[in-house]
Structures are given as C-alpha cells and as structure tokens.
Amino acid sequence: MSNFDATKPDIRLWADLVKTLVPYVPGEQPKHNNLCKLNTNENPFPPSPKVAEAIQAEIANQADNLRFYPAPESDKLREVMAQTYSVNPNQIFVGNGSDEVLAHIFACFFVKNLPVLTPDIGYSFYPVYADTFGVDLQMIDLSKDFSINIDDYHQDCAGIIFANPNAPTGILLELDKIESLLKNHRNAVVVVDEAYIDFAENKSSAVSLIEKYDNLVVTQTFSKSRSLAGLRVGMAFANPSLIEALNRYKNSFNSYPLDKLAQVGAVASLQDVDYFNDCCQKVIALRQNLVNDLQNLGFEILPSQANFIFAKPPVAMGETKQVFEKLREQGVIVRHFNKPKISDYLRITIGTQKQNQRLVECLRSL
Amino acid sequence: MSNFDATKPDIRLWADLVKTLVPYVPGEQPKHNNLCKLNTNENPFPPSPKVAEAIQAEIANQADNLRFYPAPESDKLREVMAQTYSVNPNQIFVGNGSDEVLAHIFACFFVKNLPVLTPDIGYSFYPVYADTFGVDLQMIDLSKDFSINIDDYHQDCAGIIFANPNAPTGILLELDKIESLLKNHRNAVVVVDEAYIDFAENKSSAVSLIEKYDNLVVTQTFSKSRSLAGLRVGMAFANPSLIEALNRYKNSFNSYPLDKLAQVGAVASLQDVDYFNDCCQKVIALRQNLVNDLQNLGFEILPSQANFIFAKPPVAMGETKQVFEKLREQGVIVRHFNKPKISDYLRITIGTQKQNQRLVECLRSL
C-alpha cells in the first residue's frame, strides 16, 4: 500500500458526489525553521498568556478531566462570548473553526431551489462547499476597484455570502451597505464572514445587526485576531431560529466538535480583553508601516482592513509569479493565486516588525 | 431573545432537510460532583500521564505554537498510529471523534441507490446519519439472543454498518463471520465500528483484514479505551482508495478537524503502550467482577466484550425504568433506552471498583 497513487484511486465503491469533489487547498505549512511565513494570515503574536494557563489547569491531575466528553454545546464558552459581544447565548453557534461553521451554514440555509450569490473574488472555500452540498453558487463580478457593489446583487436568491473584509482583497464593505442587502433580501440568508473584522480600524462588525435582521448570519474565528489557528474555534451569530437550525444539523453530524482544551482556551482568550485589543492595534500599526514601505518600492496596494494586504509589484520587478518564487527562494513565503483578475497580486500576511522588514529587504534586492 | 423556545423555531429560512432532522441525543453530562456516572461509557481511569506532558510541551512559550494551523492531515499522528496498528499511514483517516469519521463514511460510501443494512439494535447515531445524508438505512433484526446473524444480511446493498462489540448489547461478532460478510458483499462497503474493541478479551480487531478486503472500513476512537473522550480523536482504517475518498470529502468540508493539542495528546497516548494495555486489562477484570456481583443479585447479563454491560434486573426489583430512576435518585446514573426489545435492560458503564461497589450496594438496597 506504500506505492498507492492518491491521484488515481479506485473509485468503484465511492458515492457519486465524492467522485466529483475538488477539495479546498489550504496554504502550505512548511516545516523549515528559518522561514518567514507570511502566507496563511496567522497572527504574528502569541495568544493571551491566559490561554496556556487555562489549558494547564484543565490538564491538572494527569489530565483526568479528558476522560469525560466535553460540553456538546460549549455552554460556558457561549456564555462568555455572549457577554463579550453583547448578545444572548442562544444567538451563538460555535464550531470546529469557522470553516466547519460555514459548512453547516451551507447545509442549513443554502440548499434550496434558488442560487446563492457571492463575489467572484472571495474565500475560495465557498465554491467547494457549494459542490459538497449541491448549492447553485453564482459568482458576481467585483467592481474594477475590487469592491463589492451591492446593486449587482438585486436578484432572487436563497442567500448571499461574502467575507468582510473580503479575502484576498482586504477591502471592507460598510455596514450601511450590508444593511441595504439585508433589507432587499428578506427571504434570503445573508452571511457575512468576518474572519478578519477585528483588524478593521473602526471594528464595524455586523453582529450589531442580528437583533434587527432575522436573515443575517455573521461568522467569526479565533484563528486570526486571537492567534489560535491551532485550536480550531469559530462561531456564528444570528437570530435564535437560525442558530437552532445549525444546532440540529450539528447534532445530526457530530455532537462534540470542540474538545475540552479548545473550549477552555477560547474562554481564556475572550476574558483577556486588554491583551486582545492591544494585539489588534499592533497588527493595524504594522500593516500601515508595511503598506508605506511597499508603496515606496512602487507596489500598488488595495485598501486593507485585514491582517494581510493584497499588493501588486511594480512592473520593474517582473511578473508577480516570479516575484513570489524569488521570495520563496529566500525563505519568505507569501501567497499567489494563479487565477484570472488577481494573478498580478500577492497576498501578504502582516508579520512582526522583523518579518516585515525581512520581506521589504528581500524585495528591495530583487 | 432570552424567551426563545427552541422547540418552536421560525423555520422560514431553513433548508428542507433541516426541518426534518431529529438529532442524536448523547448521554447526559450532569455537573453534580458526588455522582456515580456510569452512563456514557467513559473510562474510569485517567489517560496516560504522557498525554498531559505532551500537551504541556505544546503550550510552552505562551502557547505560541497555537498561532499556527495544525497539520491538516495529522501526519505525525497517522504515522505513529500506523506503527501501532501495523498498517500504512495511507490506510488511516483521522477525524474529530469517530462520530465525525462515521458521518464522512456515510457521505462517501452510503449515498447510493441501494439500501444500507444495520442491526435494529445498535448505535443510535446511525439512523440520524442516514437522515442527514439521505441514505436508505434498513434495520435487520438481531437474533433472539441479541447476536448478529450474518445470514440475515444476504441481500443487495450499498453497505453494512454495525458496532463490534455491538452497542448497547456488548456482544462481539467473531472475525470469521465478518470475513464472510466481506466476501459475500464485494461491492458493498462493510463498516465495522470498533469503538469498544480494546475491551474484548482476545482483541480480535478487523483491522487485520483491511489489506485483504478493499471493501472494509474499521473505525475506532480514543474516547473509550484511551480515556480521551474530552479530546475528540477518532479514526478509520481501510484500503487507501477508500481513505482517499474520506480525505477528499473532509477537505471539502473542514480542512483541520483535529487541533494541535488533540494531535499531540493522541500521539502520546499511542506511545505509552504499557499504560494502555494495563488500563484495558483492569477494565476487563472489573467487568468480570461486576457481572458476578449483578448475577448474584439476579440480573440477566448479555455476554459483554465492551466497557459496559447490558443487564436486565430481576423481576423482584420492579420495572427496569423504575430501577433506573431509583438509582438516579441515589446519584448513580446509568443509561436506559425506552425502546422496543431493550426497555427491560440497563446499559451500565464499567466504573472503578469503588463506583461499581456503590452501584451494587444501591441495587441491593432497592
């Protein structure tokens, strides 16, 4: 079995759907130590020190606590989250990273006889979910400046989904425009994927709208702003009736998606408010510095409100793909999407001062 | 939103499927401290001390490691697992508890135009998965002695799934009979759910058959014999082509189901072979003692090879449901299924010597 070729499996016993699936490919996680890893939008700072303390406490006494199943609905975590975000616990659903939450959202709200609308440039997992659940996902072109024009979404649909700030552009859609979408699509579920919202200067989260619009779902994650990609915690905020659908689907799929350590770690992260705010501010400041440095090198950069920037190298540097490869040769890993409209750009995660400096120096030497 | 009634949600925006789902209900996890909790088949002993050590090491330096995404395919864990079970890493799939693994199995192998066969008494999550994925699950009666009669499975089907030892009966199906099933159903996927196999006296796992039968999937879990229900780790062993289907589905649903702490904890558990064997032996010995004690009280007990027993109280004790409730009043929680054929039985998890003693004393006083 060691000579098995995964690209040529025997599909005789597979269900038809699986034969056609083209999975999502996450950014690589190279093991090399001296790499400057600016490719998967992880936080350059460690999580709150309270996280390690809480996990430490949970594994006291030879980790005897781990014998028992975790709280299936993550009650304590949702309670603390409710306080943090000024909502009710029954307006919160938590899952194994926001990717799992998004998968459940597709299953619960988008499997209907109408299309779901999404920007043609966005999180590339959305089309994969659509295939997994048999959803007719229709791509709506972004404007020429890469922003979402809500007027392009005036059609009958089962739902709308987009990242805000959008990925990989980093551009933020204003809250009043989201409210317009919600008003114009009362019978569609509008999903705002706020994986990066904590890096927006005015933190204009749509969570504030869930009380008013029963057709709104807002997703967030602990993987970016809370430096906990390794712990797998994501959540959705919505009207309790939508949350109940997510609960029913989850409990028909896997009762315990969050282990005990993820639950206590996430609670500790939420409770350390100052650390969190400080960390977000530092990333925002680093972003501004990096934008300045790259603009000085001739880069064109979209206005980012995320912990990454989408940047087009100056013509003098050669083709973007080559810039990407040259950086890689020097141990600086960023992300390049070989896709129409965006192949001239690099998505660069905001690193520490030192990492950003290394990137800038490498680019200067090209 | 605090007066929301979860039994009467507004289903206007739900997909049709979700409206009909009846979720699985896991055994309760009461918080009370002095409870004797014998209801969810958790291990009475803590996990290997190596588990806490490994997690401890992973959260050194303010848990800085948690900033990064985990290995999406749990490479190191599958490697150590491959050594432990004498298979190749490409014959292993890992997921967020065996419940998630089973869900993926339903999606990958059972969504076909033929029924899937399962014993009428078995893990009650199977019919829920069937509804979730639109699988035609046909219940085959167990024999009068609650054993599986493989002759009853002679019909065209997309697959067969059963727990072995079966739950809640605890009865083991012999390996030669499983091999018969595999031979007679070359075009069906036969899934043997071995959540409790490590408590079988001769450890007759069907993993030994995956090299020979490309239509076999064996699932196992860290939740029972490895005392890690709180960590959410489960796995499937199969031919690489079946594993590849599971990988593709997983990567079209959620790339990172196992967080970093679950991965390192599971590795440490596997590496402490002596502790594991010792722990299983202790549970097996405790099971024999408990069976003896309950038989002395007049209980009829099915021959169990699991870490629980399925036991029918003597008529003199009154109705089984009442026995269940009286035990509960005294803080001893076992499981009672209010279902045809098995409502006379209690499923009792094997506890520590002290817990089992408490149960026996409570029963003696009824």
Q: Which residue has the tokens 């399925």?
A: B310
Q: Over pLDDT 70: what percentage of chain B?
A: 99
CB A131 within 8 A of CB A22: yes
Interface test with A, best of B232, B233, B264 (most A CBs within 10 A): B232
CB pairs A-B closer than 8 Å: 330
A211-A212-A218 Cα angle (round to 5): 60
Cβ-based contacts of A254 with chain B (< 8 Å): 96-97, 99-100, 103
DSSP-derived secondary structure letter, B335 = B
Cβ-based contacts of B90 with chain A (< 8 Å): 1-2, 4, 6
pLDDT at residue B140 tops 80: yes
> pLDDT at position B27, please?
76
Give residue-wise pLDDT tens across range B293-313: 999 999 999 999 999 999 999
> Is the bond preceding residue B168 a cis peptide, omega within 30 degrees?
yes
CB B260 within 8 A of CB B233: no
Residue range A178-189: mean pLDDT, rounded: 98
Count other Cβ atoms within 10 Å, centred on residue B305. 23
DSSP-derived secondary structure letter, B62 = H
Its CATH class, for the domain covering A49-271, is: alpha beta
Which residue in A339, A347, A299, A287 sits closest to A167, CA to CA?
A: A347
> pLDDT at position B26, please?
81
Number of residues written out for chain A:
366
Question: How many Å from the N-terminal Cα to the C-terminal Cα in chain B?
Answer: 45
Chain A residue with minimal CA distance to B63?
A: A52
Yes or no, beta carbons of A103 and B230 under 8 Å apart: no
DSSP-derived secondary structure letter, A64 = G
Full DSSP string of B229-281: GGG--EEEEE-HHHHHHHHHHHTTT-S--S-HHHHHHHHHHHH-HHHHHHHHH
Which residue in B318, B335, B330, B326 sits closest to B358, CA to CA?
A: B330
Cβ-based contacts of B108 with chain A (< 8 Å): 14-15, 18
> pLDDT at position A2, please?
67
Chain B residue with minimal CA distance to A66?
A: B230
Main-chain phi, psi angles of A219, to 5 degrees: -110, 145
Q: Which CATH number fits domain A27-47+274-364: 3.40.50.280, 3.90.1150.10, 3.40.50.740, 3.40.50.620?
A: 3.90.1150.10
pLDDT at residue A100 tops 80: yes
Amino acid at B20: T
- β partners of residue B139: B118
Yes or no, beta carbons of A229 and B128 under 8 Å apart: no
- CATH 3.30.930.10 assigned to B49-272: no
Yes or no, beta carbons of A261 and B55 under 8 Å apart: yes
Which residue intervals of chain A are DSSP H helices? Answer: 16-20, 49-58, 60-63, 75-85, 97-105, 126-133, 175-184, 240-250, 260-271, 273-296, 320-329, 353-364
Question: How many angstroms separate the CA of residue B10 from the nearest CA in chain A?
Answer: 5
Q: Could you give the strand order of the β-sheet that contains A216-221, starting from the edge strand earlier in sequence?
A: A92-95, A234-238, A216-221, A189-193, A159-163, A116-119, A137-140
> pLDDT at position A3, please?
82
Amino acid at A302: L
Give residue-wise pLDDT tens across range B80-120: 999 999 999 999 999 999 999 999 999 999 999 999 999 99
pLDDT at residue B1 tops 90: no
Yes or no, beta carbons of B240 and A4 under 8 Å apart: yes
Interface test with B, best of A252, A276, A335 (most B CBs within 10 A): A252
> Is the bond preceding residue A240 a cis peptide, omega within 30 degrees?
no
- From the list B21, B103, B229, the residue facing A69 with the nearest CB is B229
Yes or no, beta carbons of A111 and B24 under 8 Å apart: no
Cβ-based contacts of A69 with chain B (< 8 Å): 26, 29, 40, 42, 223, 229-230
Cβ-based contacts of A127 with chain B (< 8 Å): none
Q: Strand, coil or helix: what is A308? A: strand
Question: How many angstroms separate the CA of residue B251 from the nearest CA in chain A?
Answer: 5
Residue A275 vs residues A102, A221, A288, A349, B344: alpha-carbon distances, Å:
28, 17, 20, 21, 56
- Give residues with Cβ within 8 angstroms of A59, minimum separation 6: A65, A66, A261, B51, B52, B55, B56
CB B346 within 8 A of CB B311: yes
3-state secondary structure B149-208: CHHHHCCCCCEEEEECCCCCCCCCCCHHHHHHHHHHCCCCEEEEECCCHHHCCCCCCHHH
b/e per residue, B109-148, with b = 16+ CB within 10 A? bbbbebbbbbbebbbebbbbbbbbbebebbebebeeebbb
Give residue-wise pLDDT tens across range A33-74: 788 999 999 999 999 999 999 999 999 999 999 999 999 999
- From the list B13, B187, B261, the residue facing A215 with the nearest CB is B13
- From the list A45, A96, A244, the residue facing B9 with the nearest CB is A244
Q: Which residue has the tokens 């699986």?
A: A18
Q: Strand, coil or helix: what is B213? A: coil
- From the list B67, B129, B189, the residue facing A46 with the nearest CB is B67
Chain B residue with minimal CA distance to A20?
A: B248
> pLDDT at position B34, please?
81
Q: Which residue has the tokens 């085959």?
A: B140
- Give residues with Cβ within 8 angstroms of B302, minimum separation 6: B146, B169, B170, B171, B309, B310, B311, B345
Sign of CA dihedral A311, A315, A316, A318: positive
> pLDDT at position B185, please?
98
Which residue in A194, A224, A228 sits closest to A350, CA to CA?
A: A224
- Give residues with Cβ within 8 angstroms of A69, minimum separation 6: A256, B26, B29, B40, B42, B223, B229, B230
> pLDDT at position A29, please?
76
Residue range B217-231: mean pLDDT, rounded: 98
Number of residues written out for chain B:
366
- β partners of residue B235: B94, B220
Residue range B40-54: mean pLDDT, rounded: 97
Question: How many angstroms separate the CA of residue B31 from the nearest CA in chain A?
Answer: 10
Yes or no, beta carbons of B68 and A15 under 8 Å apart: no
Confidence of residue A1 (pLDDT cuts 50, 70, 90): low
Helix (H) or strand (E) segment spanning residue B118: strand B116-119
Yes or no, beta carbons of A66 and B51 under 8 Å apart: yes
Question: How many angstroms separate the CA of residue A124 from the nearest CA in chain B?
Answer: 11
Yes or no, beta carbons of A189 and B13 under 8 Å apart: yes
Cβ-based contacts of A136 with chain B (< 8 Å): none
Yes or no, beta carbons of A131 and B72 under 8 Å apart: no
Give residue-wise pLDDT tens across range A336-358: 999 999 999 999 999 999 999 99
Cβ-based contacts of B254 with chain A (< 8 Å): 96-97, 99-100, 103
> pLDDT at position A27, please?
76
Yes or no, beta carbons of B242 and A13 under 8 Å apart: yes
Q: Over pLDDT 90: what percentage of chain B?
A: 95
Residue range A153-166: mean pLDDT, rounded: 97
Give residue-wise pLDDT tens across range A14-37: 999 999 999 988 877 777 778 899
Q: Are strands B308-312 and B346-349 parallel, antiparallel or unpaired?
A: antiparallel
Question: How many Å from the N-terminal Cα to the C-terminal Cα in chain A?
Answer: 45
Alpha-carbon Rg for chain A in angstroms: 21
Question: How many angstroms separate the CA of residue B352 from the nearest CA in chain A?
Answer: 13
b/e per residue, B322-357, with b = 16+ CB within 10 A? ebbebbbebebbbbbbeeeebeebbbbbbbeeebbe
pLDDT at residue B60 tops 80: yes
Full DSSP string of A79-99: HHHHHHHTS-GGGEEEESHHH
Question: How many angstroms separate the CA of residue A144 from the nearest CA in chain B?
Answer: 30
Q: Strand, coil or helix: what is A173? A: coil
Give residue-wise pLDDT tens across range A223-268: 999 999 999 999 999 999 999 999 999 999 999 999 999 999 999 9
Helix (H) or strand (E) segment spanning residue B61: helix B60-63
Question: How many angstroms separate the CA of residue A289 from the nearest CA in chain B?
Answer: 22
> pLDDT at position B2, please?
66
Give residue-wise pLDDT tens across range A287-341: 999 999 999 999 999 999 999 999 999 999 999 999 999 999 999 999 999 999 9
Chain B residue with minimal CA distance to A226?
A: B67
Main-chain phi, psi angles of A255, to 5 degrees: -70, -30
How far apart CA B170 and CA A28 sit, in angstroms, is 44
Main-chain phi, psi angles of A340, to 5 degrees: -55, 150
CB A230 within 8 A of CB B67: yes
pLDDT at residue B31 tops 80: no
Q: What share of chain B is helix, strand, coil (3-state, %, to 5)?
A: 45, 15, 45
Which residue in B41, B70, B96, B42 sits closest to B232, CA to CA?
A: B96
Which residue in B116, B68, B70, B92 sits closest to B247, CA to CA?
A: B92
Yes or no, beta carbons of A23 and B131 under 8 Å apart: no
How far apart CA A254 and CA B129 sit, in angstroms, is 9
Give the start-to-end residue ranges of the domains of chain A. 27-47+274-364, 49-271
Its CATH class, for the domain covering B16-47+274-364, is: alpha beta
- From the list B59, B68, B131, the residue facing A252 with the nearest CB is B131
Question: How many angstroms separate the CA of residue A318 from the nearest CA in chain B?
Answer: 31
Which residue in B45, B249, B241 sits closest to A67, CA to CA?
A: B45
Q: Which residue has the tokens 């059972």?
A: B110
